Amino acid sequence: MTNLAYAPADSTQRRPRPRHYLMTPPRHFAVEYAINPWMHPGVDVDRDLALRQWQGLVDTYRRLGHRVDVVDPVAGLPDMVYAANGALVTATATIAARFAYPQRAAEAAAYANWLGAHGMGPVHVPVEVNEGEGDFLVVGDKILAGTGFRTSPAAHSEVARLTGLEVITLELVDPRYYHLDTALAVLDDHTVAYFPEAFSPVAQAVLATLYPDAIIAGAADAAVLGLNAVSDGRHVLLAAAATDLAAQLSARGFVVVPVELSELLKGGGGVKCCTLELRRPLPLVDHDAETGAR
């Protein structure tokens, strides 16, 4: 269940922008292996509850005026619900994923096929390990790019070449925050929230320089994946348990929408993990054949 709690007294200066999201229902969700510290094989998973919680997130997006398209889940891919990892779609390029772990490898083709069939092509198949929006977050005219646990640093150069956007490398150092989207949330084209301890000292310095007015999350909110959030520029959907972060966001004029995804947290994912943003593309350039475009 979601609700519009934490609405600030004056949020009129925040303007939402309609978004287009791609999501996959957790029809086959389970915790069958451990590829991050959140996963404990054998843990009880209530799939019906996971589906209800996921549907609540979808319904909330639509109620806020956003478009949500759905990719059919594939049996045998229990993590496919975490759609953000499936690709990166900017205004200038659509780049498929190349997963670090074989358990998720087949998800890349499922998302690439959907994107290619729905006008988002050509879909470029990366050479380097690249876990989509899990590690590539678009902030205005730049991309913040995570590395350290999944996405290869070489993928950052590859994405910069394909998109034509500036890509800024940020090293993650805490295995609990294995993707950038678990440690940093994009709030609008100029504003982010993040948990400094998830990053190397160099990355912390980069973030402090780029975003001196960033919202700094505490350890308790980071530990419930409160930063695995989605913002339309006004409304911020985030884990209901991240109450201190919610208060900070409200104080800065955002309308906080608490979301309960307790079942999907068992796989190490939250609101953003379930949500791949499809940025309405400009005419796409067909890059060299070596990029694997199709």
Please identify every residue annotated as catalytic.
179, 273
For 72, counting Cβ atoms within 10 Å of its Cβ (0-12 exposed, 13-18 middle, 19+ buried), the class is exposed
Cβ neighbours of residue 278 under 8 Å, at least 6 residues apart?
A: 20, 21, 22, 69, 89, 115, 120
Give the whole-angstrom CA distance, residue 25 versus residue 131.
19
Give the whole-angstrom CA distance, residue 87 versus residue 151.
12
Alpha helices in the chain (DSSP H): 47-63, 105-117, 153-163, 201-210, 219-222, 243-251, 262-265
